[in-house]
Amino acid sequence: YSQEKQELQKTLNNLHQECSTMRSNSYLREEMFRNKSVECDAIKDCLDSLNRKENRCYGEAKVVLDCKQRTGHSFCCGIKCYFIIDNKHWNGCKQTCQDCSLSLLKIEDDNELKFLKSRITTNSYWIGLKYDERNRKWQWIDNVPSKLDFMTVKSLKESGSCAYLSFTGIHPDDCSRKHPCICEKRVDKFPDSICSMKEK
């Protein structure tokens, strides 16, 4: 009986030790979970704040461009500013944008398309979308695909080699026709991240 009692006591001690270890590990896991939850909440707050700022749009303003094209009108939304320049053919628009350290507009996604259509009332504006005869498809001037709904671009008829934007959408036209241009400039509105500002 004595030996059996010792074995049982030893087993009981081991179980106590395991329970103690499990309680300790459980506490550590709960503490880690709490810390991660606080960290996630902070990151979520930061992202929400950034999203609010990125989606903030600014009204139209008259601007002076640092190039031969001395004047134009601009408006900004999120991390992009848009510059409206007078009538030119498509290549003229592309060159004028480049001369002003801008680029002919590339529409990144359906949200941007919807926003721009809401800002356009009467004119049609050349954008940086052109039909590539060799590859037989529409391409943006930087050859980088956008998240714009592919059907929006694919449905363009091949009746014109360049694309313009109006309040009804994106349409093809002869590149030699004259339309106003929309140039764009990506701007960094957040030189210091909101997160790092909070930590100071």
**What is the CATH number for 131?**
3.10.100.10
Q: Mind listing the pLDDT tens digit for each residue in 55-69? A: 556 555 455 566 665
Residue 193 predicted with pLDDT over 60 = no
Residue with the bigger pLDDT between 81 and 197: it is 81
- What would the DSSP string read from start to end of the chain? -HHHHHHHHHHHHHHHHHHHHHHHHHHHHHHHHHHHHHHHHHHHHHHHHHHHHHT-EEEEEEEE-SSSS-EEEEEEETTEEEEEEEEE-HHHHHHHHHHTT-EE----SHHHHHHHHHH-SS--EEEEEEEETTTTEEEETT----SS-HHHHHTS-TT-SEEEEETTEEEEE-TTS-EEEEEEEE----SS-HHHHHH-
Q: What is the mean pLDDT of residues 11-22?
A: 79
Q: What is the mean pLDDT of residues 2-31?
A: 77
Q: What is the value of pTM for the model shown?
A: 0.62
Greatest mean pLDDT among 27-41, 133-147, 168-182 lies in 168-182
**pLDDT at residue number 179:** 95
Residues 163 and 101 in one domain: yes
Q: What is the mean pLDDT of residues 137-153?
A: 73
**pLDDT at residue number 195:** 34
Q: If we measure between CA atoms, which residue out of 167, 71, 72 comes closest to residue 122?
A: 167
Range of the domain at 99: 58-186
Q: Mind listing the pLDDT tens digit for each residue in 69-123? A: 556 678 888 778 898 888 899 999 999 999 888 899 999 888 888 889 888 877 8
Residues 10 and 48 in one domain: yes
Strand-pairing partners, residue 63, are 72
Residues 13 and 98 in one domain: no
Q: Mind listing the pLDDT tens digit for each residue in 165-174? A: 999 888 888 9
**pLDDT at residue number 126:** 96
**pLDDT at residue number 53:** 54
Are 83 and 62 in contact by the 8 Å Cβ rule? The answer is no
Residues 117 and 42 in one domain: no
Whether 107 is in a domain gets the answer yes
Q: If we measure between CA atoms, which residue out of 120, 143, 131, 119 comes closest to residue 172?
A: 131
**pLDDT at residue number 189:** 39
